[in-house]
Amino acid sequence: MKIILLQTDICWADPVANVARLGKVIDHYDKVDLFVLPEMFSTGFCTLPEGIAEPADSPTLQWMKQTACTHDCALAGSISIAENGKFYNRFFFVHPDGKVQWYDKKHLFTYGGEDKHYTAGTERVVVNFRGVRFLLEVCYDLRFPVWSRNRGDYDVALYVASWPSPRVEAWKALLRARAIENQCYVLGVNRVGKDLYCDYCGGTAAIDPYGKTLSACEDGKEGQVEAFIDMNELEAFRKKFPVLEDADAFTLN
């Protein structure tokens, strides 16, 4: 499976401009299975979503559907959503046939005040696409390994983020840790540039189940990187070295 990770700058609260820029990048590619976009790729990471968040069936989501159909691929990325009087940091996974699955961010970033305006999700979401199972996770979720523990139910953990530059080394280390401890591929997509509050330097990367970086974008610059998922190699590794069978049992309250 061929996946493109898009490390992009984001214009503040301007979905039209952001979607147009991303569309031009995607149009340059052919025969890609999945494009992964950063957290809140249409607006920037807005902890004050009033007047910025988009409706649940937003024009940005419609663009994702149309792009997925046109390119016979899937698109994944989170959008700030307003629905029934509440706000959600919603990670959409859009299939080429128009099917939409989503995950509402579980761990809201209290340090930045996200919890004061957004409603946390409660359901873990795994998406099946073209023979690969993807766990959907958003930014701060990366710091909580119990939530992302592999229960034998996924092959790739997708993390989309607006992770600030001062803590980027934690981002890079935790991506590798999640891959090693869960015997899975990890794809982390972070933005670059500046918004009203933070600087972002990227750190977008594809990590294999051994914790090795397969490919990565250059820090501090917009760019794209290819990631290839080899299910035969993953299954052979899990069979040869069945770490997950020895994992501690637990339940989430």
- State which amino acid sits at residue 24: K
Token output for 133: 């199972």
CA proximity to 201, closest of 212, 214, 187, 191 = 191
Distances (CA, A) of 36 to 6, 76, 117, 187, 238: 6, 5, 26, 9, 25
d(CA 136, CA 121): 12
Q: ∠232-233-238 over CA atoms, to 5°? A: 100
Q: How many CB atoms lie within 10 A of CB 192?
A: 23
Coil vs helix vs strand at 218 = coil
CA proximity to 211, closest of 232, 185, 188, 239 = 185
Token output for 101: 């699955």
Q: What is the DSSP pairing of strand 199-201 with strand 192-194?
A: antiparallel
Active site residues: 39, 105, 139
Q: End-to-end CA distance of the chain, in Å?
A: 35
